[in-house]
Amino acid sequence: NAGVTQTPKFQVLKTGQSMTLQCAQDMNHNSMYWYRQDPGMGLRLIYYSASEGTTDKGEVPNGYNVSRLNKREFSLRLESAAPSQTSVYFCASSERQDRGYGYTFGSGTRLTVV
């Protein structure tokens, strides 16, 4: 089925460990996004990639890095995980959201840092 695939779905890390969240889309979308969702905070943009080869910071980039590996894949890396990064992470993609296409979201990665 066409869409956005995120791996893993669940992860528990110890403080200081590193990990990479993977995201891939098969809709030939140009833009990809990483959000985190915390209770009462809504969705907060971490990083986005408007097109292959470009990345930009969002609202809460500290503690994260991203790589737009190719048009399909956009990964999010936590170099040294902290308990404050416990959250649900969503990847999304879009053709041209300013033309009204909106986003397609993945099903999320639930990350717990202990």
Partner 1 sequence: AQSVTQLDSQVPVFEEAPVELRCNYSSSVSVYLFWYVQYPNQGLQLLLKYLSGSTLVESINGFEAEFNKSQTSFHLRKPSVHISDTAEYFCAVSVPGSGNTPLVFGKGTRLSVIA
Q: Which residues bind partner 1 (CB under 8 A)?
A: 4, 30-31, 33, 40-43, 45, 48, 50-51, 58, 90, 92, 94, 96-100, 102-108
Integer Cα distance of 62 and 51 in angstroms: 22
Residue 91 Cβ, how far from partner 1 at the closest point, in Å? Answer: 9
**CB nearer to partner 1: pick between 18 and 51:** 51
| Residue 80: CB minimum distance to partner 1, A | 26
**CA-to-CA distance for 43 and 89, rounded, in angstroms?**
9
User: Judging by DSSP bridges, how do beta strands 56-57 and 42-49 pair with one another?
Assistant: antiparallel
Nearer to partner 1, 11 or 30 (CB): 30
State the burial class of residue 114 (Cβ atoms within 10 Å of its Cβ: 0-12, 13-18, 19+): exposed
Q: How far is the CB of 77 from partner 1 (least distance, A)?
A: 20
